[in-house]
Structure 1
Amino acid sequence: MTVQSEIERHTRELVKMAPSGLFYALHFRFALPLMHYHSYPRDWTDRYTERAYALRDPVILWGFGNSGTARWSDIELPDPENIIGQAREFGMNYGFVVATGSIKSRTIASAARADREFTQSEITQFAETIETMHRLVEPPGSLSAAQIEALALIAGGDRHAAAAAKLGISESALKARLAAARTNLKARTTVEAIQRARNYKLL
């Protein structure tokens, strides 16, 4: 099973746990997450995006400043835009936030429902799934310069023979570099490796 299919499976599990919607942002790096998803109501998402609430959302701010979990009702951070209050207009009356990972590669997630507070066991189950997803897409520390060169040439459209010639190595040596890059990136194919390297800002 590929990393992508594993993430999709876990996402389906999370959706079942969050009747009024959820979001996750896995591994914030360079101010953007490597992977993200949300299922909040469309009208709320439009308002949230248009007003750039992510910059002032106490749920997100809590996630960057803390690790673990917290119910929205327990977050004691300023909310001058009344973002949590506005969310209730869209059936998001109760929720919680999950934050994990180092500050250089932070994962933040949240879930909502309309009818009641989430139980601690529900929060724990959701948080454990997020932690699993965080580990699944853990970016590699780095690729070697040789692996990056090989991936970059293939990404640029060169075939194996042409790429090997440009690098002054044999085609089998090129394939070995590509295989090593795939392993480091937990990718099944070279195309997937190239995409993941781009997502991780390694290419």
Structure 2
Amino acid sequence: MGRNQIIDDLLSELGGVAPAGYFLALHIRFAAPLMMFQTYNPAWTDHYTRNAYALRDPMVAWGISRSGATRWSDIDLPDPFGIMAEAASFGLVYGVCVSCGPMTSRTVAGVARGDREFNEEEMSAVTGCVLRLHHETQPPDHLTKAEKQALLVIASGDRYAAGAARLGISESAFKARLSAARRKLFARTTAEALQRAKDYRLI
């Protein structure tokens, strides 16, 4: 089974224990996650984004500053903007926050339901799922010299044929290097791979 299929299966598993949806930011580095997924009520997501709540959300603050798992009702951080109460009005009444990984590559997840608190068994299932997702999406700590060269050639504005000629390799070999870099960086496009490589100080 490929890594993308494993990630999809784990996301499906996470969705199965989050009746009101989930939010997952994987490997937050330099203030941005490598990957982000969310299945909360779109009306809440829009409201949350419009009001820039991520900068003031006690759940996010808990996840960045601590590791482990906690029910939202047990988060002891101030909520002067009443974000948790607003979330409840959108159906996100009860939830769990899970945080793992070092500060330099932190993963934070929130899962929600509207009917009752999560029990210990469910919290354990959520935690295990998030830990596995964190592991499966571990970003690279290096790219090969060939992969870096290919990305940098694209960054300079060359297209495939010109880039291949510049490096003295075939166009198919050039594309293969870019494809390898995209896979390592979980990027759908070369432009996205290039940005992530820069974000993670790999080039």
Q: TM class, shorter-chain normalised?
A: 0.7 to 0.9
Instruction: Give the number of aligned pairs.
Output: 197
SS at match of 1:125: helix
TM-score by length of 2: 0.83
Identity of aligned residues (%): 40
Query: Are the structure 2 counterparts of residues 192 and 52 from structure 1 closer, same or farther at C-alpha, using a change threshold of 3 Å?
Result: closer
CA distance, structure 2, for counterparts of residue 198 and residue 158 of structure 1: 18
SS at match of 2:195: helix
User: 1:170 Cα deviation (Å)?
Assistant: 5.1
Q: Determine if the alignment matches structure 1 residue 31 to structure 2 residue 45.
A: no
Query: Are the structure 2 counterparts of residues 85 and 186 from structure 1 closer, same or farther at C-alpha, using a change threshold of 3 Å?
Result: closer
Match for residue 157 of structure 1? 159
User: 1:199 Cα deviation (Å)?
Assistant: 2.9
One-letter amino acid matched to 1:139: P
CA distance, structure 2, for counterparts of residue 8 and residue 192 of structure 1: 19
Query: Are the structure 2 counterparts of residues 200 and 10 from structure 1 closer, same or farther at C-alpha, using a change threshold of 3 Å?
Result: farther
SS at match of 1:24: strand
Task: Name stretches of at least 5 consecutive residues in structure 1 with no aligned partner.
Answer: none
Q: Determine if the alignment matches structure 1 residue 68 to structure 2 residue 65.
A: no
Query: Are the structure 2 counterparts of residues 145 and 20 from structure 1 closer, same or farther at C-alpha, using a change threshold of 3 Å?
Result: same
Query: Are the structure 2 counterparts of residues 126 and 200 from structure 1 closer, same or farther at C-alpha, using a change threshold of 3 Å?
Result: farther
Match for residue 4 of structure 1? 4
Match for residue 178 of structure 1? 177
One-letter amino acid matched to 1:118: F
CA distance, structure 1, for counterparts of residue 151 and residue 79 of structure 2: 45
One-letter amino acid matched to 1:72: W
Preserved CA contact (<8 Å) 2:64 2:106:
yes
Preserved CA contact (<8 Å) 1:24 1:38:
yes
Preserved CA contact (<8 Å) 1:139 1:200:
no
Which of 189, 195, 199 in structure 1 is aligned with 2:196? Answer: 199
Q: Determine if the alignment matches structure 1 residue 51 to structure 2 residue 47.
A: no
SS at match of 1:70: strand
User: 1:152 Cα deviation (Å)?
Assistant: 3.7
CA distance, structure 1, for counterparts of residue 80 and residue 160 of structure 2: 53
1:25-174 alignment runs, 5 A limit: 25-153=25-153, 156-159=158-161, 162-167=162-167, 169=168, 171=170
User: 1:38 Cα deviation (Å)?
Assistant: 0.9
CA distance, structure 2, for counterparts of residue 121 and residue 198 of structure 1: 39
Preserved CA contact (<8 Å) 1:181 1:193:
no
Task: Name stretches of at least 5 consecutive residues in structure 2 with no aligned partner.
Answer: none
CA distance, structure 2, for counterparts of residue 120 and residue 24 of structure 1: 20
User: 1:28 Cα deviation (Å)?
Assistant: 0.9
CA distance, structure 2, for counterparts of residue 179 and residue 33 of structure 1: 22
Preserved CA contact (<8 Å) 2:59 2:97:
yes
1:114-167 CA distances to partner (integer Å, 9 max, x unpaired)? 1111111111111111111111111111224443012443674223xx545423
CA distance, structure 2, for counterparts of residue 186 and residue 31 of structure 1: 17
CA distance, structure 2, for counterparts of residue 91 and residue 179 of structure 1: 43
One-letter amino acid matched to 2:72: W
One-letter amino acid matched to 2:159: G
CA distance, structure 1, for counterparts of residue 64 and residue 114 of structure 2: 25
